[in-house]
Amino acid sequence: MRIGHQDVAVVLLGAFSRYVNNLQDEEIVLPRTKTRLKALRTNLKLAIDYGLQKSQSDLIASFLQTLIMSEGDKWVEAQVTTIAGLLREGTAGKPVENAESTVRKFATKQLGKAEIIAALED
């Protein structure tokens, strides 16, 4: 049985996701963990860019999910607070557009420029 690049990417992504999900609070502050997470984020951003360049959007949503999880609670909570404020303004605050823009800017410059990515929209 031959395993293709796509299959290897799925296995690695699952391992990265599990690693991030199982980190304990006391582990996150360790320099070794910070270095690993920084490297993980860098490589996930590169994977997103590569997927966009090759029009392979099937794993981009999973890459993005793991990327956001690796950033930690502070970033997520800050964005939730911002978007919650916009939701209170109603449609004038454009909460959906701002949420999408925030995630796209966070991920990569290429993702910020991408017109439509079906997997990401889901």
8-57 pLDDT, tens digit each: 778 888 888 899 889 888 898 899 999 999 999 888 888 888 887 777 77
Determine contact, residues 6/55, Cβ cutoff 8 Å: no
pTM above 0.75, yes or no: no
60-112 pLDDT, tens digit each: 788 888 888 888 778 888 999 999 999 999 989 899 999 888 887 777 665 66
Residue 1: pLDDT band with limits 50, 70, 90: very low
Determine contact, residues 114/104, Cβ cutoff 8 Å: yes
Determine contact, residues 23/32, Cβ cutoff 8 Å: no
Residue type, 115: E
pLDDT of residue 31: 94
Tokens of 56: 């392979």
